[in-house]
Amino acid sequence: MIHYQFETIHPFLDGNGRIGRLLIALYLIEKKLLSHETLYISYFLKRNRIEYYDRLTEVRVKGDFEQWIKFFLLATYESAQDAINTIERIIKLHDRNVEVVKNTGKAAKTVMKVFNYLEGSPIIDIKKASVALELSFNAVSNAVNKLVESGILRQTENIRRSRVFAYEEYLGILRKDT
């Protein structure tokens, strides 16, 4: 109902949809029904855009809240299923890559630190990563090279002084259906 009411009021010139969807997550977190903002309802609403607008109109014109609530519950359910599937894929990727990192020899401890950093910052450059991790530039550079050699990281820009690397498979999972 919060989302419907916010969309009906439509208080801003731009961004009403994004803020309305954010309110959903914040409400669920406040009510302790969601511990993290892992529900991405936007994709469902985008896929079902015409039905979404039609159902909002049904409430506005006819006062039919029941059909809106059923539609929104379906959106929430499908979004929750998508979140579960995404989390499971990320866990499998993490576990598989941890095994790869463990086999990187003497540098495994440093490579693991860089790998763990990647899961929070999947696009990195060596200088910024070395500052964030409080490791030397050379240590991070060597770890990044190991991650590139093992296929976990890929160089995205070919600027000699400021190379940028991406954890592409991880990003691919996060970008699915966005």
Asked whether residue 170 falls in the same domain as residue 118, the answer is: yes
Asked whether residue 107 falls in the same domain as residue 77, the answer is: no
Asked whether residue 153 falls in the same domain as residue 107, the answer is: yes
Question: What's the chain look like in SS3?
Answer: CHHHHHHHHCCCCCCHHHHHHHHHHHHHHHCCCCCCCCCCHHHHHHHCHHHHHHHHHHHHHHCCHHHHHHHHHHHHHHHHHHHHHHHHHHHHHHHHHHHHHHCCHHHHHHHHHHHHHHCCCCEEEHHHHHHHHCCCHHHHHHHHHHHHHCCCCEEEECCCCCCEEECHHHHHHHHCCC
* CATH number of the domain within which 123 lies: 1.10.10.10
Decide if 96 is inside a domain: no
Q: What is the pLDDT of residue 14?
A: 76
Domain assignment of residue 45, given as a range: 2-83
What does the pLDDT average to over 137-147? 96
pTM for the model stands at 0.79
Q: What is the pLDDT of residues 81-109, one digit of tens each?
A: 999 999 999 999 999 999 999 999 999 99
Query: Average model confidence (pLDDT) for the chain?
Result: 90
Tally of domains in the chain:
2
Q: What is the pLDDT of residues 37-52, one digit of tens each?
A: 778 888 898 899 999 9
What does the pLDDT average to over 146-174? 90
Whether the per-residue pLDDT at 152 is higher than 90: the answer is yes
